[in-house]
Amino acid sequence: MNEHNDETTKETGGSDIATDGGTDRDVVELPDQVELPRMLDFYELQTEETTQISEFYDNLADGQLTTTRCTECDELHFPPRIVCPECHSDELEYVDLPHEGELFAFSTVRAGAPMGMEDEVPFVLGIVDLGPVKLSAHLDDAEYDDLEIGDPVEMKVVEIDGPVDHERVFYRFEPQE
């Protein structure tokens, strides 16, 4: 049985190589530098025309971390929502979040970073407990070995330099002095 299968494979394989190997193939060239594809861009577009949570980014650009709260059931969400996941109301308001919190968990990213962040590895990624919500964030100026769970951290706003024609911002955290 095995012998028969081996023979079949050999015959088929040999035949394929003979057929394809003798033909000229088209050449596909890749550019030396590949621009960041829009769909793989980690940061979403932030204008009113491109996202329904543009107010979050407007507030962040002004230095304020905010999120949505449902005025119907009082549920606080993070990330900000356009419809309350608890009661499905769209009566939401933006409220301020604290800019200081505690490190709830952390790890180091050594490989597999999102496109555009490859040059930053290794970097520390943490879950920050702000009290009302927990969120994951890039930790700047932080060495894994120097950190402990419970360490105080504070929010900072960074500008995103990228392939879109409008200003973009995002939040990161860093250890408090």
Q: Is 140 exposed, middle or buried (0-12, 13-18, 19+ CB in 10 A)?
A: middle
Site for Zn ion, residues 83 to 102, rule: CB under 5 A: 84, 86-87, 89
Check residue 73 for interaction with Zn ion (CB under 5 A).
Answer: yes
Residue whose CB is less far from Zn ion, 80 or 126: 80
Q: Which of 54, 67, 71 is nearest to 132 (CA)?
A: 67
Q: How far is the CB of 104 from Zn ion (least distance, A)?
A: 25
Check residue 75 for interaction with Zn ion (CB under 5 A).
Answer: yes
Q: How far is the CB of 28 from Zn ion (least distance, A)?
A: 51
Residue whose CB is less far from Zn ion, 87 or 115: 87
Q: Are 57 and 168 in contact (CB under 8 A)?
A: yes
Check residue 58 for interaction with Zn ion (CB under 5 A).
Answer: no
Neighbours of 119 (CB within 10 A): 7
3-state secondary structure of 59: helix
Check residue 153 for interaction with Zn ion (CB under 5 A).
Answer: no
Residue whose CB is less far from Zn ion, 10 or 88: 88
Q: Are 68 and 92 in contact (CB under 8 A)?
A: yes
Interaction site with Zn ion (CB under 5 A)? 70, 72-73, 75, 84, 86-87, 89
